[in-house]
Amino acid sequence: MKAKMNESTKEQIIRAAYDVMIEKGFSDTKMQDIADRAGINRTVLNYYFRTRDKLYQKVASDILHQGMPQMFETLNGDLPLFEKIAVFTEQHINTILKNPFMPLFMVSEIHKTDSPFFQSVIDNIKPNIDGFVTQVEKEIALKHIIPIHPIQLYINIISLCVYPVMGKPLFSMFAGIDEPAMTQLLEDRKKEVAQMIIKLIKA
């Protein structure tokens, strides 16, 4: 009979994986790094998580389950549209800045055609943006904002939030600025993105 998993050890591994990914990034994190950080040997690590992908998926799933419900609640909630854009943008960028390895992981998983990761997350969270779409259509009808496809607006917001974090090393190099300055620029985007989007769509 298989021994029952020791949840405290499992949680220790997940925390170690999270900490190492924050420090080294998704692609540079190795299983041995995680085992060393957790204070266990590879045999114990492999008992709980047989592959690196399984461990990464668990970490990513935990993060998404913490952040996504709140963001979708905001997106589909009753806030006025411009205020909603500002709040959602701040929530989204906060999540990415706290978990900078996530965008690369997500892109990697998206391109795995046989990956069940996203389907399992979607099945558990049941995300949708129906409330947001309806609100945008009403605001267009009232001529409060310019005509724009609600999905295009959603994609614009997400893209402006995510891409600067993914391209942080490149932007830092091209601009010739150090880590603290780049970090501050990304913090400033919480307001910059919202202000830009609102200015572009306001009638």
Residue ranges and CATH numbers for the domains of the chain are 1-50 (1.10.10.60), 61-201 (1.10.357.10)
pLDDT score at 150: 97
pLDDT score at 111: 66
Backbone angles phi, psi at 145, to 5 degrees: -135, 160
- Type of residue numbered 140: I
pLDDT score at 137: 97
Q: What is the mean pLDDT of residues 173-184?
A: 87
Cβ-proximal residues to 22 (8 Å cutoff; 6+ apart), any chain? 99, 100, 101
Compute the Cα dihedral for 33, 39, 44, 50 and give only its sign: negative
- Give percent above pLDDT 90 in the chain: 41
Rounded CA-CA distance 2/106 in Å is 33
Residue with structure tokens 């706290």? 98
How many residues in the chain? 203
Confidence of residue 110 (pLDDT cuts 50, 70, 90): low
Confidence of residue 132 (pLDDT cuts 50, 70, 90): very high
pLDDT reading at 88 higher than 90: yes
Bridge partners for 145 per DSSP: 202
Confidence of residue 1 (pLDDT cuts 50, 70, 90): very low
Q: Rounded to a whole number, what is the distance in angstroms from the first to the last CA of the chain?
A: 67
Q: Which residue has the higher pLDDT, 31 or 59?
A: 31
CA-to-CA dists, residue 198 to 60, 67, 192, angstroms: 31, 23, 10
DSSP 203: -
CA-to-CA dists, residue 26 to 23, 57, 93, 161, angstroms: 9, 11, 18, 19
Q: What is the mean pLDDT of residues 173-197?
A: 90
pLDDT reading at 124 higher than 60: yes
User: Between the CA atoms of 56, 151, 86 and 109, what dihedral angle is there, to the nearest 10 degrees?
Assistant: 10
pLDDT tens across 14-32, in order? 889 888 887 887 778 899 9
pLDDT score at 194: 95
Q: What is the mean pLDDT of residues 179-203?
A: 92
Q: What is the mean pLDDT of residues 5-21?
A: 82
pTM of the model: 0.77
